[in-house]
Chains A and B, each alone.
Chain A
Amino acid sequence: MSARFSPAGYLICLCGIVRREGLRFLHQRERFVSALVRPLVWLFVFAAGFRQVLGFSIIPPYETYVLYEVYITPGLMVMIQLFNGMQSSLSMVYDREMGNMRALLVSPFPRWYLLWCKLLAGTAVSLLQVYVFLAIAYFWEIEPPPIGYLAVLPALILSGLMLGALGMLISSAITQLENFAGVMNFVIFPMFFASSALYPLWRVREGSVALYYVCQLNPFTHAVELVRFALYGQINWLSLAVVAGCTVVFMVAAAAAYDPARGLLARRGEG
């Protein structure tokens, strides 16, 4: 038996992991529903309320004045991925010594590859959520051009990977963030609010120049802009570069920081 796997073997492994994640997700209806309710509340309630408050000038990629609902849709799409990525990454890190992660990690494939497959599988699940969200939003007059639905796919895969890898890095590096509430307060909310998801950055700049720069440095902003442009069949090259760069950096760092030996058993002192 040869010591190495063929490329086909690697592909089988990836497909198996993605398939399992998808099957599991379809069996968890509550998770599906709650993943959809969150952005829909923002869209139906928050955006409707703010519609009259915020006025926009025409900014790319939009060619006309757009409703506030239309503006925040890309931000909500990436928010779905942010929640999904943080949730699955947190469990990847905290379950690494038991259950399914343990079973995954005894696979003879390189560990970095297994973790990458797992991130991609989480991203695939988030894609399912995002597209169902877009389908519902369509009836709320969020109608991007048909080509946008296809063009946004690679953008979403990249942003999903970036957020998943970031989640894994944060949960590995900061051991105090043991539960999802901590991640919500210290990661999800700051990233979401200090970004271009809810308001264009030129308006942020009018309010606070410092905050404007914070938003510019926030990778979430670039994930949102990448998705926003792609949804209208365009490419935001700066955002693409930032998201691609961050994805690589986060993934390498996350794989390096992922050390099960620093987990529960160590803290408890052998079980």
Chain B
Amino acid sequence: MNDATPTEADALTVEGVSHAYGARMALDQVSFALRPARFTALLGLNGAGKSTLFALVTRLYPMRAGRIRIFGHDVARASGAALRQLGVVFQARTLDLDLSVQQNLTYHAALHGIGAREAARLSGQALTQLGLADRANDKVRALSGGQMRRVEIARALMHGPRLLILDEPTVGLDIKARADILAHVRMLVRERGVAVVWATHLVDEIADDDALLVLHRGRILADGPVAQVIAQAGGTSVREAFTRLTHEVGDDAA
């Protein structure tokens, strides 16, 4: 059965994207496409180009070479339509600590043109799902690190985006909170059909049925289901596959 319309295209399409800082290439001809309602792990060491890729996908940086589309909408040319389909969780905390949870969510809703009444309804729903309904009027400062992350994820989903990108979202969390956040996001993929890009440098956050993108020194070294990537690299685990892939490129004295 194929009832996909042209707008029901891939969740995220990156075509021939390059970005340089002076002479140093941060991204070099990066291309990939992600299907909707799928969990994709973007694996790369620090400095691999993940942050630059996120800056381009979120329209923070202007596109110099190549093209990025979110559900068919060009980020450079139709950025409004593209960004409406995008939810972002940044590596750094971006909640206002001295404002209440509710005030933070209302602010975010306003940035998407959603009025206060609708925002209250949406945030009430989201907080109930997170089990934080009774904390709505507490200052964010009073929440734990894991709770803040959950609120940020709820915030990123308030305007109903179909693509959620997270930049190393478990940095600074303890093991339990890390597992909880990961499970929560996988649940969102399963139950709400959100496409997720999960940038990480931690191989143990990747599950067998994920899609995997390996980014190393600005280039995509592998792209496919985890099992396929492992098989092609000739290893037995993601860790081994990653080591082999990055070794093939050679370590020209960084």
Q: Give residues in A with beta carbon < 8 Å to B.
A: 1, 3-6, 8-10, 12-13, 15-17, 19-20, 23-24, 27-28, 96-100, 102-111, 114, 259-261, 265-267, 269-271
Q: Do A105 and B58 have beta carbons less than 8 Å apart?
A: yes
Q: Do B115 and A12 have beta carbons less than 8 Å apart?
A: yes
With the chains together, A16 CA to B88 CA distance in Å?
Answer: 19
A243 CB → nearest B CB, Å: 29
B79 CB → nearest A CB, Å: 7
Q: Do B60 and A24 have beta carbons less than 8 Å apart?
A: no
Given A106-B83, A106-B88: A13 in contact with B110 (beta carbons within 8 A): yes
From B21, B26, B47, name the one whose CB has the most chain A CB atoms within 10 angstroms.
B21
Given A102-B94, A265-B51, A270-B26: A110 in contact with B80 (beta carbons within 8 A): yes
Q: Do B55 and A109 have beta carbons less than 8 Å apart?
A: no
From B24, B49, B82, B90, A103 is in contact (CB under 8 Å) with: B90
6 residue pairs A–B, Cβ–Cβ below 8 Å: A12-B113, A27-B98, A102-B92, A105-B60, A265-B55, A270-B24
Given A100-B94, A271-B51: A5 in contact with B113 (beta carbons within 8 A): yes
- For A99, the chain B residues whose CB sits under 8 A away are 90, 92-94
From A8, A28, A269, name the one whose CB has the most chain B CB atoms within 10 angstroms.
A269
B182 CB → nearest A CB, Å: 22
- For B90, the chain A residues whose CB sits under 8 A away are 98-99, 102-103
From A16, A19, A100, A270, B47 is in contact (CB under 8 Å) with: A270
A132 CB → nearest B CB, Å: 20
Write the chain B residue with the least CB distance to A96.
B60
- For A98, the chain B residues whose CB sits under 8 A away are 90, 92
With the chains together, A6 CA to B84 CA distance in Å?
Answer: 14
Q: Give residues in B with beta carbon < 8 Å to A.
A: 21-22, 24, 26, 46-47, 49, 51-52, 55, 58-62, 78-84, 86, 88, 90, 92-94, 96, 98-99, 103, 106-116
Write the chain B residue with the least CB distance to A261.
B61
With the chains together, A27 CA to B103 CA distance in Å?
Answer: 13
Instruction: Give the A-B pair count, Cβ closer than 8 A.
Output: 121
- For A20, the chain B residues whose CB sits under 8 A away are 96, 99, 103, 107
Q: Do A271 and B83 have beta carbons less than 8 Å apart?
A: no
Q: Do A5 and B58 have beta carbons less than 8 Å apart?
A: no
B85 CB → nearest A CB, Å: 9
Given A97-B60, A270-B26: A23 in contact with B103 (beta carbons within 8 A): yes
Given A3-B78, A16-B107, A271-B46: A9 in contact with B113 (beta carbons within 8 A): yes
- For B115, the chain A residues whose CB sits under 8 A away are 8, 12
- For B106, the chain A residues whose CB sits under 8 A away are 16
With the chains together, A267 CA to B24 CA distance in Å?
Answer: 11
Q: Do A270 and B49 have beta carbons less than 8 Å apart?
A: yes
- For A16, the chain B residues whose CB sits under 8 A away are 106-107, 109-111
Q: Do B80 and A5 have beta carbons less than 8 Å apart?
A: yes
Write the chain B residue with the least CB distance to A20.
B107
With the chains together, A259 CA to B64 CA distance in Å?
Answer: 13
Write the chain A residue with the least CB distance to B73.
A3
Write the chain A residue with the least CB distance to B97.
A27
From A9, A20, A108, name the one whose CB has the most chain B CB atoms within 10 angstroms.
A108
From B21, B46, B84, B112, A269 is in contact (CB under 8 Å) with: B21
Beyond the given pairs A4-B80, A16-B110, A265-B21, 7 more chain A to chain B contacts, judged by CB atoms under 8 angstroms and listed by A's residue number, are A10-B113, A12-B110, A13-B110, A24-B98, A108-B82, A265-B55, A270-B21
- For B22, the chain A residues whose CB sits under 8 A away are 266, 269
- For A271, the chain B residues whose CB sits under 8 A away are 46-47, 51
Write the chain B residue with the least CB distance to A16.
B110
